[in-house]
A and B are shown apart, each in its own frame.
Chain A
Amino acid sequence: MAQITIDKIEKRFSVTKALSAIDLTVRDREFVVLVGPSGSGKSTLLRIIAGLDFPSEGTIAIDGKPMMGVAPKDRDVAMVFQSHALYPHMTVYDNLAFNLRIRGIAREQIDVKVKEVAARLEIIELLKRRPHQMSGGQRQRVAIGRALVRDPRVFLFDEPLSNLDAELRARLRTEIKRLHRELQRTSVYVTHDQIEAMTLADRVVVLRGGRIEQVGAPDELYARPANIFVGGFIGSPAMNLVPANGADGSLALDGGERFAASTPVRGPLIAGMRPEDLMVVPVGTAGSFHARVNLTEPTGADTLLLCSIGAKLDLCVRVSRHMRAVEGDVLTLRPRDGSLHLFDIESGQRLN
């Protein structure tokens, strides 16, 4: 049981504001991912939850109990660091056992617990090694194990997979998700990798410049980004953000193309179209426009077509690998129904 309530948190470092007006409730057993570019304040927020940093304003409570003045060791949280932070002078066994020993748990109990966790993470054969005798993936596995033996109320992850290669990252990501399904512990996970955020989270919190841009389930964020930033940040390849002009029942793209679309506002705005939401349709289809293929990038299952509208506008279109397109082709494109995202050109907020 653990619910984290973050109330109006603000964090200032001498001149800069790292976090402002953060309100967030992490529900019991929920896996929440804090995602954002570097400098967005996501790690600072995690460290405040851990008790390693203190908010300048606002309060944080775990299960209703205010955490003001409560030392990290008394918060019953466990944390996995980006740099693994294993104790170099101890074996893996001692690394895992350390936090139980410091809490005065009986030796036999520690042994049972350490072996259980080691078995779960398949690191039994590593127990006698020291951190420097292991690979990066093994170390991070041990670091996760160190968090697991505690059986804490809350798991905190600070970019645990960032230092690993792509394949290992994907494997451990799956493993973390599986562990969460099995253990059902409240978890807060920080990453700058939106794919990690999408795959792991029950809810994603998108941060930028110390503010929350949007909170929501992964598919919600993907389908209805609240503003340009979230639209551009979530999804890979990124959403096409095209300056456009809204008129009655149509949209004029900056490159000179115009197509029928329902728009709530007239005048300049930003049209967001995800690469996979642009369909290639027969010439003359209602609501379609034209684009010229400049470059093709086969990625395996899909092919990415980098197109231009008029002279300058770049547009990425994702098509099946079966579609043959060559540079210079002119495509007729239509956004899938209900897939058009319209944003205010000034505030960047969603319009439709």
Chain B
Amino acid sequence: MRLSLYIGLKWVALGLWSIFVVAPFLWALTTSFKSDNGVTQGATYIPWLEYEPTLEGWATLFRDPAQGGIEIQEPYLASVLVTAASTFIALVLGTLAAYGLSRFSFRAGPMKNSDISFFFISQRVMPPAVLAIPYFLLLQNTALLDTYIGIVMVYTTMLLPIVVWVMVDFFNTVPIELDEAAMIDGCNPMQTFFRIVLPNCGPGLVVATLLCIIFSWSEFFFAMTLSFSNVQLLPPTVVILNSNKMPWWSLSASALASVLPLIIVAFFLERYLSRGRLARAFK
């Protein structure tokens, strides 16, 4: 009795929450299939019954700007590129740093391993606004302003703490005896890392990858301040669309299109996230 009540309450709670989360999506989704007239006639959700759906909004995403399309394809590709590059670099550097922090004792002045880990994550405490001007000057002086390299460097710096933070935790769950067994079995430190430790941190890598993609894909502030014409990224572009007199359908379609990659990535990686597999492994 108690159990079924509990399950019932759980479903009610989840249901309410999903309405909260899904409703804006639904709104944007229906809007992207409506003509301008349709949008102004109040909230309507059921196609063909309440409004006449049209693909015109989505079509503008793929059309040349000269023929009434919107400039989104280039920023889209640029964002994919920057996200992929900075995620990849942050993962490589971050996992190696995290492995070091998890396995060896370091001392930087009075700071020990846990302090160094905290130092990494503390870099994320600062609001981006504080960093924007220093970064701007730094990139300007090195002629990297408004370039892919510059933007990827800034994004990597932003992502590294997250990767280190997540991965140190995961590496700490892998017993050090595994490393030692591997070393006696004939591995050098690199082989130990890549063949023994990393494969046992799959869920950690997935979490880190997801966080990196989410953060770099939807990053707005640095994209806005450190790139303008040469490199145009998606988040500022969508926001600028908003401020122009853009048809609602284009706006909704482009907003949805910009969320799409995250949804796809989440679907792909979600299955690797189960921590149960991890807990079972080391008993």
Known pairs A81-B180, A83-B175, A132-B283; A88 contacts B185 (CB<8 A): no
Residue B282 at the chain A interface, CB threshold 8 Å = yes
Known pairs A85-B177, A87-B178; A71 contacts B196 (CB<8 A): no
Tell me the minimal C-beta distance from A255 to chain B in angstroms: 49
Residue B12 at the chain A interface, CB threshold 8 Å = no
Interface size class of A (residues with CB under 8 A): 20 to 34
Contact indicator B181/A89 (Cβ below 8 Å)? no
Neighbouring A residues of B181 by C-beta, 8 Å: 79, 81, 85-87, 146
C-alpha spacing A163/B196, complex, angstroms:
23
Contact indicator A88/B200 (Cβ below 8 Å)? yes
Please encode chain A, from 76 to 117, with 1 for each CB lying within 8 Å of some chain B CB and 0 for all others: 011101010111110000000011001100000000000000
Residue A348 at the chain B interface, CB threshold 8 Å = no
Contact indicator A88/B281 (Cβ below 8 Å)? yes
Contact indicator B186/A103 (Cβ below 8 Å)? yes
Contact indicator A71/B178 (Cβ below 8 Å)? no
Which residues of chain A from 53 to 89 have any CB-CB distance to chain B below 8 Å in the complex?
71-73, 77-79, 81, 83, 85-89
Known pairs A85-B175, A87-B178, A88-B200; A78 contacts B184 (CB<8 A): yes
Interface of A is mostly: mixed
Q: Which of A87, A102, A150 contacts B191 (CB 8 A)?
A: A102
Considering the complex, give the chain A residue whose CB is closest to the CB of B187.
A102
Contact indicator B187/A87 (Cβ below 8 Å)? no
Which residues of chain B from 188 to 245 have any CB-CB distance to chain A below 8 Å in the complex?
188, 191, 195-196, 199-200
Tell me the minimal C-beta distance from B66 to chain A in angstroms: 54
C-alpha spacing A72/B185, complex, angstroms:
8
Neighbouring A residues of B184 by C-beta, 8 Å: 50-52, 72-73, 77-79
C-alpha spacing A51/B191, complex, angstroms:
17
Considering the complex, give the chain B residue whose CB is closest to the CB of A133.
B280
Which residues of chain A from 193 to 247 have any CB-CB distance to chain B below 8 Å in the complex?
none
Known pairs A71-B188, A88-B282; A52 contacts B180 (CB<8 A): yes
Tell me the minimal C-beta distance from B110 to chain A in angstroms: 15
Please encode chain A, from 256 to 297, with 1 for each CB lying within 8 Å of some chain B CB and 0 for all others: 000000000000000000000000000000000000000000
Nearest first, the 4 A-B pairs at minimum CB distance are A88-B281, A99-B185, A85-B177, A85-B181
